[in-house]
Amino acid sequence: MNARPYSSLSPTDRLIHLLKDVKGFEEDLVATNANEGAEDALNAALLQYVPHVPNRRNEQWVDRFLQLYKFCLEHERLPRNKDDSSLYQWVNLQKTDEDLPLARKELLNSLPEWKATPNARWLGSYEELRKGMSRTGDFPPHLYEWGRMQKIAYRKGELEEEKVKLLNKVPKWTWLNTHEKAWLDHAKSMIRFISREQRWPTANGDKRRIENRLYHWWYRQGKNTDPRKQPVIDCLSAEKKQLQANLAISDKKILMNLVEQARRDMENNPEKSKDNDESTTENSGIF
């Protein structure tokens, strides 16, 4: 038997259809559907899926969402103030809530015309960052933690598209984290060292702190499994063999271009998991 067309499904079945690809939701729904009616099973699955929050108003949030969902099904748009001022205000609150859990965002993103907008507090910090970077080119120190949180949210896929677009307009903004920037700094310093000295750094060659750091940084690259960094590691390994054979290394610009490509790859393909690369934990400001 063919499935019923989407337009003929009940509101409950439509919501189930919209959320069937959301991670964990369908499993919760199936688990609760055996002994409960469709409406009760849906509510139970939503409560299981949407994480509980400290104020313990999770059930109220789900009730409000279902009310909003049914309105959207009927009117094919979000409510306006004249439709239901209470629901309208609740919608605006969700749009500007910076701490809204990802599960709730996914539910709201299933609604027509849904588009979260940054709130005044976020926009205030953003404007400070944009003006500061435009004026001095340096990241304002008092916004370090704020910027770090934006990057964490971006890597988790939790930063709204509008915020991503705005931050991409900030001069010298980068999505790289501290560890990635430190790794790139070390790679560039290694290239400058071997280009200048025409030798590989040693542990205590001239007892210089920078040379020692480069030596130990390179030692740890044998444990580095990040595919975005591998082309640079492979290239430096080849340059080391060249130096050991008393041959000239490649042009410095060619090597730096490879590092720049790695930087772009890191920006465009951020790692979603926590970076455990021990080689990147050194202070990025030493070079």
CB 139 within 8 A of CB 128: no
pTM (two decimals)? 0.55
Choose from 19-23, 93-97, 202-206, 271-275 the range with maximum mean pLDDT.
93-97
Burial 8-40 (b: 16+ CB within 10 A, else e): eeeebebbbebbeeeeebeebbeebbeeeeeee
pLDDT tens by residue, 221-258: 988 889 999 999 999 999 999 999 999 899 999 999 99
pLDDT tens, residue by residue, 86-101: 898 898 888 877 777 7
Query: Angle CA(191)–CA(192)–CA(195) in degrees, nearest 5?
Result: 80
Boundaries of every domain in the chain: 6-109, 120-168, 178-280
